[in-house]
Structure 1
Amino acid sequence: MSTEAILVIIIASLVSLFIGFAISKFFRKEVGSALSQVDIERVKLEAQQMMQRAQLEAEKIRQDAKDETERLISVAKEEVERYRRLAIEEAQSILTRAREEASKIKEDIEKRKRETEEYIAEKRMEIQKTEQNLIQREHQIERRLEVLERREEELYKREKDIREMEKQVEKLQKEMEEKLQNLAQKEREIESIRQKEILELQRIASMSMEEARFEVLRRAEEEAKIESMKVIKRIEEEAKEKAEFEAKRIITTAIQRISPEIAINYTTSTVELPSNEFKGRIIGREGRNIRTFELLTGVDLIIDDTPDVVTISSFDPLRREIAKEALQILIEDGRIHPARIEEVVNQVKKEIDEKIRKMGEETCMELGLYDINQGLYYYIGKLYFRTSYSQNVLLHSKEVAYIAGLMAEELGLDAKMARRAGLLHDIGKSISHELGGSHTDIGIDLCKKYGEPDPVLNAIKAHHNEEPVRYPEVALVCAADALSAARPGARRESLETYLRRLEKLESIVKSFKGVANAYAVQAGREVRIIVSPEEVSDEEAYMLSKEIARKIEEEMEYPGQIKVVVIRETRHVEYAK
Structure 2
Amino acid sequence: MTIIWSLIGSIIGIVISALIFIPIVSRKVRKKLEEELKLAKQDAESIKKRALEEAEHLKKKAIIEGREELHKQRDEMERELRREREELKQWEERISRREDNLDRKEENLEKLRVELEKERNEIEKLRQEAENKLYQLAELSPEEAREIVFKRVEERYEYDIAQRYKQIKEQYEEDAAKHAKWVVVTTIQRYAADYTSEITVSTVSLPSDEMKGRIIGREGRNIRAFEKLTGADLIIDDTPEVVVISCFNPLRRAIAKLTLEKLVEDGRIHPARIEEMYEKAKREIYAEIKEAGQEALMKVGIPSMHPELVKLLGRLKYRTSYGQNVLQHSIEVAQIAALMAAELGLNVEKIKRGALLHDIGKAVDHEIEGSHAIIGGEIVKRYGEKSDVVNMIQYHHGETEALTPEAVLVAAADAVSAARPGARRESLDMYIKRLENLENIAKGFANIEKAYAIQAGREIRVIVEPEKVDDVMAEKLAGDIAKRIEEEMEYPGVIKVTVIRERRSVAYAS
TM-score bucket of the superposed structures, by smaller chain: 0.3 to 0.5
TM-score by length of 1: 0.43
